[in-house]
Structure 1
Amino acid sequence: MHSGFKVGTYGQEIHEMREMVLANMGQYAHGNQPVQHVAYAYNYAGQPWKTQYRVRKIMQQLYNATEKGFPGDEDQGQMSSWYVISALGLYSVCPGTTQYNIGSPVFRKATITLEDGKKFTINATNNSPANVYIAYAV
């Protein structure tokens, strides 16, 4: 959809509205933290390839290693946390549960050491900026 908006009861454009327009991703306003799970909703609709495409696009387009590398307010690490977990190819859509969604990892291999000392390894064979889709293997 178009990135147009109405200011509504705010009475003026606020920074989240402007950031949404600048990101050019339709009505998706990543800098407004309550919507950061939306890209993962395609998993629930049986279309995980759309989640993988959108998550990778968000990471590539909205994050970078400059002074303007976050697409919104860095509220107590929220933007950084979204990126780090998403870059691993995971996301906790419902925090506080043990369920994680699969996204699109940016690393070919990553190993996480769990609190009990066990290792959790993510292997993304043939991973690249152009190859963002994954096949699930357990």
Structure 2
Amino acid sequence: MFVDQAPSQKIHDGETRQAPVRGSFWCDAAAHLRDGRMLWLGGQACWTPEQALAWIGWRAGHVADQLDNQLARPARAWIQDHAEHQRASGQLARGITYSLVVCDGSVQFVLAATPGAFALNGDSAS
């Protein structure tokens, strides 16, 4: 289950905005092209390391589906690697960003989870 809403808070001009989710994880996916451009593919705030890793796995599946079988193998292997998920969960719990990088030769797909306090729009609250 991913975070799909956070408590709202009033700000000084009467508008409301999403309150930051303390102790949450911001997950995002990006494609880094050989020419130096970066394309942001999406992001999601999650409550726990396990949810963050589930999101990375979900996006890794999307990436793998777009690659030919040989290039997709590392992403598909990561999805099934429970020992790596445990290591990654511990890393996130210690406050260290975790990244999965999948390459197809011309594009690097970077799927990352960053611990911190984030609003649901991805802005850092700290």
TM-score (norm 1): 0.25
Structure with the bigger percentage of strand = 2
Please give the TM-score of this superposition, normalised by the length of structure 2: 0.26
